[in-house]
Every structure is written in C-alpha cells, then in structure tokens.
Amino acid sequence: MGLLSNRTGKETLKAGDHVYSWRAAWVYAHHGIYVGDDKVIHFTRGRDQEVGTGTVIDFLLVSSGPTRSTTPCLVCSSNDATAAMEANGVTSSCLSCFLAGGALYRFEYAVNPALFLAKARGGTCTLASTDPAELVVRRANYLLSNGFRCYSLFKNNCEDFAIYCKTGLLVAEQGSVGLGQSGQAVSIIGGPLAAVVSTPFRLVTTNIYGMAVMAVGVYCVSRYAGDIGNRRDVLKVEVEDLTAGLASSRIRPANISQLATPGQVQDPVVTTPVAA
C-alpha cells in the first residue's frame, strides 16, 4: 500500500479484491469486488432506488456509477445484466467497463492506524480486517442475484457494498443524518465538520497556522472514529439473512439488528435493538 496512492496493475488482482476507480476530477470513486475472469461485481443506482441529499452534492457526486458508453461492450453487455441492474442496482461488468477509462486502485484492509491517518482522503483503506477471499466472492455473487438494499448516497453506496462483501459488517442504526460504512462519505462530511468545530478557536488564537492544525486534527479524528474498524454500531450479518424475504433488496436499516443472531454478532456489538 502506498502512502499517496493505492494504484495497482490488472496483473496483480486476485479474486476477492476490493477495487475502485476515481471519477469526475477525483470528487468521488466507484467501488466494486473483483471476482476473477476479468469481472467486477459492483453496486449502482437501480431504477427508482436512489436516495440522495436533495442538495447540490447530488449533482457533484453523480459520477458514482461508471460512464455509459454509446457503444455496447461485447464482453459484458446483455439484456439480463441490464435488467438486473435496473431492478436492484447490483451488476457485473468487465474490468474495462468498470474502470470507464479511469485508473485501477485497490482498497486496503487492516491497515496500521498511523498509515490510515496519513491517508488524507477517505475511501481508500480501513482498519477493519477482511474475510477470506472465497467468502467475499460468494457474498458478491449472492448479492448480484438478490440485490443489496436501496441505494443511498451516504448510507448505502458502492463503497458500502464492497466493504460489506469484504467484512460482512453493516451499520445497525442509521438515523436521518447517519452514515454507512463508506470512508469517502465520512471524508465528505468530515471536511465541513472540521471547519465548523474549529471556528470557536478563533476566540483563542488568530494564528492561521494554529487554525489549520486544529481543522486538520478534527478532520483526522472524524475519519478515524467513523471508520468501520472502530465503530461500535456495526453487526456481522450473513448475506442470506440480509436478503431473506426482502423484495428488490429493500431492507429497512432499523431491522438490521434483528437479522443477526447472537452467534453472528462480533465485537463491536450493539446491545440495544433498534426500534422499527
């Protein structure tokens, strides 16, 4: 893992890798799971499923999905794949279509805390450990057939999908301002938060360098505390339980805690059930 970049080559990929590619001037990245044979399973906005913020941020982050080419891909285009994507948002593409002309990066797991903090941009690594590659690929293929809940920009996006496939972890409680597992979502929120929190310190010092250090510190703390490897509101949920009895992946976040039996819950754990 590089300090400034996780860029990698196609020849280094292994089935079960979490890959991503930056979109639209590095504003946002699209994430997926490489399953071998030049295929990537990823989560996009299905028909009638997007839940955004209702602000200009939705316009800025519209590049979360791959760019649509005017020429159909002879490798991965099919009516069945298109119908599946429109129904639940989870689709399988060849690596070239997934990258949509962008560079290939590999998301890193179980990174050292110091290295995590050194990576100023969220959505590139996590403190959490990954499950075995075979289990990761099985989850991705299962969700390809059964869907992954309703798409939401901050609570349930492509990075949340990939992190779930890698770890089996889901956020148990998501309020109106809650976030999912996505590191880049935490990063987007962390910037304005750092500016707001550091503002009162202008009463203590007018030194611009001191203010900058304070803002950077608040930003780093928010990223570290919001990482899926540190959060206390996550549960281990089996993929079959996640999708059992649900139509078109529309699972209510408040019911996630009810899907996990005591044997499935790993530390950190939420002990109070979430009210429906």
Catalytic residue set: 30, 42, 158
Asked if 61 and 162 touch (Cβ cutoff 8 Å), the reply is no
pLDDT at 59: 54
Condensed to tens digits (0 to 9), the pLDDT of residues 29-62 reads: 899 999 999 999 999 876 554 555 555 555 555 5
Mean residue pLDDT of the chain comes to: 73
- How buried is residue 71: exposed, middle or buried, by Cβ count under 10 Å (0-12/13-18/19+)? exposed
Residue 27, pLDDT above cutoff 80: no
| Segment 197-233, tens digit of pLDDT | 445 555 455 566 555 666 666 677 778 888 999 888 8
Query: What pTM does this model have?
Result: 0.76
